[in-house]
Amino acid sequence: MRKFLCCLLLLPGLALAQPRWIEVDGTSIASVAPDRARLSAQITTLEDTPKAAQAQADKVINQVLDAFESAGLPMSRYGAGSLSLGPRYDYRERERVLVGYEARRGVTLEVPVAEVAEWLGRFTELGLTEVSSPAYFADDDLERRRTLFQQALDDGLDKARALADRMDAELGKVLEISEQGGGPAPRNMMMADAAESGRYQPAQQAQQVRLRIKVALD
């Protein structure tokens, strides 16, 4: 019983000794002009047999791959591994009628922005029947990422200091830092003269870093 009473007497002191901390979010944003694009296109064929449909699709894709190789493109910049093959039906007066077998194959290609127009035209010339809109992005710049992280950290610590002042406390050591949202997030920002005929100039993007920072209070 005496040991239990001693523990009760110590509890208020233990509660006061519990470490205090605050959590804040620090953010940093930089506008970036995309310098690369990811192109995607596919060929759809319809033939009497599955083998004939696939052969026709393979023929077009092989032409595209030959063009990539002739241009000296590294294999890391393109891919053509997908294939979809199956029957196609037409429904006439509630009756399902087989009209043939459909094969689809697609390609992807990563190019500098300056080469977008050239390759979109080549895709059509080489027999690809469906060309998607380019997906623009900026190369991951290590120095830019470091700057964004430092700015986000500074932003978070500034917020932590402001909160600590309101609480009549002092900031201690940083206990934990974690990146939120999986890294840079694109955000469209229009660029001047982007509508000039014949130019493929994508909108600017904003790369963002958001950090969750846990700081001790003294």
Q: Per the domain annotation, does 168 fall within a domain?
A: yes
Predicted TM-score of the model (pTM): 0.63
209 and 147 housed in the same domain:
yes
What's the CATH code of the domain at 189? 3.30.110.170
26 and 78 housed in the same domain:
no
**Cα–Cα distance measured from residue 116 to residue 121, given in angstroms and rounded to the nearest whole number:** 9
Residue ending a domain, among 102, 137, 172, is: 137
Q: Per the domain annotation, does 13 fall within a domain?
A: no
125 and 43 housed in the same domain:
yes
Residue 74 DSSP SS3: coil
Whole-number pLDDT of residue 200: 63
**Cα–Cα distance measured from residue 79 to residue 66, given in angstroms and rounded to the nearest whole number:** 12
pLDDT digits (tens, 9 = 90+) for 28-62: 998 888 889 999 999 999 999 999 999 999 999 99
Tokens of 121: 């035209």
Nearest alpha carbon to residue 33 among 111, 136, 135, 110: 136
**Cα–Cα distance measured from residue 209 to residue 147, given in angstroms and rounded to the nearest whole number:** 10
What's the CATH code of the domain at 120? 3.30.70.2970
Q: Give the residue numbers spanning the domain of 89.
A: 36-137
Whole-number pLDDT of residue 218: 87
99 and 156 housed in the same domain:
no
54 and 127 housed in the same domain:
yes
Q: Per the domain annotation, does 93 fall within a domain?
A: yes
Residue ending a domain, among 104, 137, 170, is: 137
Residue 34 neighbours by CB under 8 Å, 6+ apart:
113, 136, 137, 138, 202, 203, 204, 205
Tokens of 191: 């660029």
pLDDT digits (tens, 9 = 90+) for 135-190: 988 877 788 889 999 999 999 999 999 999 998 999 999 999 999 875 444 444 33
Q: Per the domain annotation, does 2 fall within a domain?
A: no
Is the distance from CB of 209 to CB of 150 less than 8 angstroms? no
